[in-house]
Amino acid sequence: MKIALYNSHGRVLEPFKPLTDKEVKLYACGPTVYNYAHLGNLRTYIFEDLLVRTLTYAGYKVRHVMNITDVGHLTGDGDEGEDKMLKSAQEKGMTPWDIAKFYADAFFADTARLNIQTPTVICKATEHIQDMIDLIKILEEKGFTYQAEGNVYFDVSKFPKYGEMALLDRTELKAGARIEVDTAKRNPQDFVLWFTNSKFGRQAMVWESPWGVGYPGWHVECSAMSRKYLGDQFDIHCGGVDHIPVHHTNEIAQTEAATGKEPWVQYWLHAEFLLTKTFKMSKSEGNFLTLSKIEEMGFEALDYRFFCLGAHYRTQLTFTEQALEGARAGRRALFEKVKSLPSPSPGFGPNQVSATGRDYLDRFEQYLGEDLNMPRALAELWGTLKDVTLGPEEKRWIINTMDRVFGLGLEALTPDGVPVPTQDPALAAEVEALIDERNTARKNKNFARADEIRNQLKGRGITIIDTPTGTSWENHERKM
RNA sequence: GGCGCCGUACCCAAGUGGUAAGGGAGAGGCCUGCAAAGCCUUCAUGCAUCAGUUCGAAUCUGAUCGGCGCCUCCA
């Protein structure tokens, strides 16, 4: 299976070939755990999951490393910059460590519900301070740093390639266009590797270092940890597009300066933003939607995953409630249809697939290989589902196979059982009793009473479904 | 001020030279006591606008209008 990926470095579509034959080393920038992840953040993690699943599907072994930023991420580089963790902790009356744990747990609860696979390695910044210090020491020995006003800075003038990936021309950048210039910097693009407590009086998370007690700058963690778990050079590094100009640009500079090896990363992949009608979702702006929020609105986590599948990862996706409702309806219809297909027998394999079935899979794989064109790949799933020439068992096998990439949990669906029943046994018993009464009424042609009961339940968000084999019900309507 | 991206039906969205994928919504029909679900059919002579290149353009070029992102922390 051929895979081509769009490399942000060079802005071109390139055939994918890992450094090591069948193993892919991948680093993905993880969350800064000072608040809940919002839907926009989650879109990027869904993209990364689809990437990992596609590579796995293609036969590669993927070593997926993701960091957790639990220290050092300031709201700005200057003296007015606040530590995001500390700020959040003070607002909630918790310690930064508690805040980090709380939001990291929330993050993984979200990704689990979205069927996002857990990375091979999850590494916390606070547990790798020494690795960062070691890296900064190398940079210092090689002459890439300077100290000013209590901080250790990376000197971008010593690294001529600075900004190459981002297509940044340093002379064209308008420093201070939107923010005060840090006067301690020699160049506006210089960035902090290590802060000392000379800048902050009360800092909860600090460590000893050769430059004094303090804490690391944000960018250095990804360089130090990726190096520790993936080596000096590896295959893929991904994140959101917003990381191109600053975070990833700085990572490249400090890593290649330290190791002297280039390119540090073979392929840079960046996911585009999720937008609302008038603004992008932004964690620091405070106005954003979380997964839990839309679940309260009556959606399921997988509705959002399905929604994201409908757009290519490199285009801005417009989020509206109407669009999510469309995704929900589509996802439910898909589940219903797949449910009615028999699970293939254990002996069923690729050899049992017909030429027509193979065509669907071939196109599916072709689209995956075209820079993860999920909308097209998904269209092949619908095509398979609707093809009348395919047998049900074969159809189900192909769909299950495709879902190894989509990750919607289709394989587990069965025609048996009540779909998504309530967790409340008392409510369940009450509903069952009403359904029994209604079915008796129907048998006696008392349709007025039957409809009355159905409408009553409908008003409580419970939908009744009559089938030839009996009546089932779902409790998934909007909870207000 | 600089850099980059985008504008496709009611909604989301694919498609980067060969005559508009897919999903949702809507409409008609079958089925049903009625619904729901399911199934069948239908749904852009046109891809912001105007010029141009070409045998041929949503796809290339230019201009115009509109929207977005980045150059601050940000997925």
Q: Which residue has the higher pLDDT, A184 or A64?
A: A64
Average pLDDT, chain A: 87
Q: Which CATH architecture has domain A4-275?
A: 3-Layer(aba) Sandwich (3.40)
3-class DSSP state for residue A137?
helix
pLDDT in tens, A153-172: 999 989 988 888 887 665 55
- Other beta carbons within 10 angstroms of residue A392's beta carbon come to 11
| Interatomic CA distance for residues A405 and A113, integer angstroms | 16
- What Å value separates CA A326 and C1' B43? 17
* A477 has pLDDT over 90: no
CA atoms within 13 A on the CB side of A248: 27
Q: What is the pLDDT of residue A202?
A: 57
Q: Which residue has the higher pLDDT, A464 or A419?
A: A464
A339 CB-to-strand B distance under 7 Å = no
* Phi and psi, residue A179, nearest 5°: -150, 155
Numbered ranges of CATH 1.10.730.10 in chain A: 297-412
A247 CB-to-strand B distance under 7 Å = yes
Please name the nucleotide lying closest to A45, CA to C1': B75
| Interatomic CA distance for residues A122 and A74, integer angstroms | 22
| Interatomic CA distance for residues A119 and A44, integer angstroms | 14
- Other beta carbons within 10 angstroms of residue A299's beta carbon come to 21
Q: What is the pLDDT of residue A425?
A: 75
A218 CB-to-strand B distance under 7 Å = yes
Closest to A447 (Cα-Cα) out of A461, A466, A432:
A466
The first and second tokens of residue A126, run together, are: 């606070």
DSSP A181: -
- What Å value separates CA A304 and C1' B42? 29
- What Å value separates CA A246 and C1' B72? 10
Numbered ranges of CATH 3.40.50.620 in chain A: 4-275
A433 CB-to-strand B distance under 7 Å = no
Say which residue the tokens 């189900």 belong to. Answer: A396
End-to-end CA distance of chain A: 47
On strand B, nucleotides with any atom < 7 Å from a protein CB are: 1-6, 11-15, 21-25, 32-40, 67-75
Closest to A307 (Cα-Cα) out of A216, A231, A375, A246:
A375
> If you compute the radius of gyration of chain A from its CA atoms, what whole number of angstroms results?
26
| Interatomic CA distance for residues A256 and A266, integer angstroms | 13
A297-412 maps to which CATH number? 1.10.730.10
Residues in A 39-58 whose C-beta is less than 7 A from nucleic strand B are: 40-41, 43-44
CB-CB contact of A103 with A32 (8 Å): no
- Other beta carbons within 10 angstroms of residue A395's beta carbon come to 24
A74 CB-to-strand B distance under 7 Å = yes
Q: Which helix (H) or strand (E) segment is A216 a member of?
A: strand A214-216
Q: Which residue has the higher pLDDT, A407 or A32?
A: A407
pLDDT in tens, A185-226: 888 888 999 988 655 555 678 899 999 988 898 899 999 999
Q: Establish whether this prediction's ipTM goes over 0.90.
A: yes
CB-CB contact of A52 with A103 (8 Å): no
Please, which residues have CB within 8 angstroms of residue A46's CB and are 6 or more apart in sequence?
Answer: A114, A116, A305, A308
Determine which of A26-35, A157-166, A362-371 has the lowest per-residue pLDDT on average.
A157-166
Q: What is the dihedral of CA A228, A233, A236, A242, to 10 degrees?
A: 80
* A43 has pLDDT over 90: yes
Please state the rounded mean pLDDT for residues A46-53. Answer: 97
Say which residue the tokens 């000392």 belong to. Answer: A196
pLDDT in tens, A223-252: 999 999 999 999 999 999 989 988 999 999
- DSSP states along A292-326: HHHHHTT--HHHHHHHHHTS-TTS-EE--HHHHHH
> If 0-12 CB within 10 Å is exposed, 13-18 middle and 19+ buried, where does residue A377 land?
buried
Closest to A195 (Cα-Cα) out of A215, A211, A181:
A215
**Position A261 confidence tier, pLDDT thresholds 50, 70, 90:** very high
* Phi and psi, residue A342, nearest 5°: -70, 140
3-class DSSP state for residue A108?
helix
What is the side-by-side order of every strand in the sheet holding A151-154? A145-148, A151-154, A191-196, A214-216
| Interatomic CA distance for residues A461 and A463, integer angstroms | 7
Strands (E), A45-150: 61-68, 121-124, 145-148
Highest mean pLDDT among A5-19, A271-285, A364-378: A364-378
Query: Which amino acid is it at A358?
Result: R
Closest to A161 (Cα-Cα) out of A58, A9, A278, A266:
A9
